[in-house]
Amino acid sequence: MKSNRPIYLDLLRIRQPLPALVSFLHRVSGAFLFLSLPLLLAVFEASLAGPDSFVSMLSHPMIKFALFTLLAVYFYHFFAGLRFLLLDLGWGVALAQARRASWAVFVAAAFCAAVLGAWLW
């Protein structure tokens, strides 16, 4: 019996709706935040060693960029998590509301990242 299932899926050609993209990126950002815990622990250790070591660590451009990326991902994860909490309460279940909420997640995260970038540099 011949199966009608596709043998090869080109994931770059499949267009997902925006709420699905927000959901996928929320999972990816959560994994990124978890995997970046060693960096956060290193920065925390430098802050406990003394103010000079902490300032010297934060003056390095790669560390500053890594912390900016980490905080921008955290903002996205936070706003997407709020969206999912609102979905659990029954708000934003309709497709039009879900799209607006998804755009709101992207806009809020981008705004917070821009403010953070202006503050850091």
* CATH (domain of 77): 1.20.1300.10
Q: 37 lies in a domain?
A: yes
Does 11 map to a domain? no
Residue 48 lies inside a defined structural domain of this protein: yes
Instruction: Tell me how far CA of residue 59 lies from CA of 71, 84, 106, in angstroms.
Output: 17, 36, 29
**Would residue 89 count as lying in a domain?**
yes
Quick check: is 5 in a domain? no
> What local confidence, expressed as pLDDT, does residue 1 receive?
66
Q: How many CB atoms lie within 10 A of CB 35?
A: 9
**Which residues span the domain enclosing 73?**
18-120
Residue 52 carries which side chain, given as an amino acid letter?
D
Q: What is the pLDDT of residue 32?
A: 97
**How far is 61 from 36, CA to CA, in rounded Å?**
17
The length of the chain in residues reads: 121
Write down the pLDDT at residue 6.
66
> Is 96 part of a structural domain of the chain?
yes
10: in domain = no
d(CA 117, CA 70): 12
Averaged pLDDT in 10-residue chunks for the chain of 121 residues: 73 85 96 94 87 84 90 97 95 92 97 93 79
Q: What is the DSSP letter of 121?
A: -
Contact between 68 and 116 under an 8 Å Cβ cutoff? The reply is: yes
Q: Which residues contact 40 (CB under 8 A, 6 or more apart)?
A: 70
The number of folded domains in the chain is 1
Question: Do residues 73 and 32 make contact, with C-beta atoms less than 8 angstroms apart?
Answer: yes
Evaluate whether residue 13 is within a structural domain: no
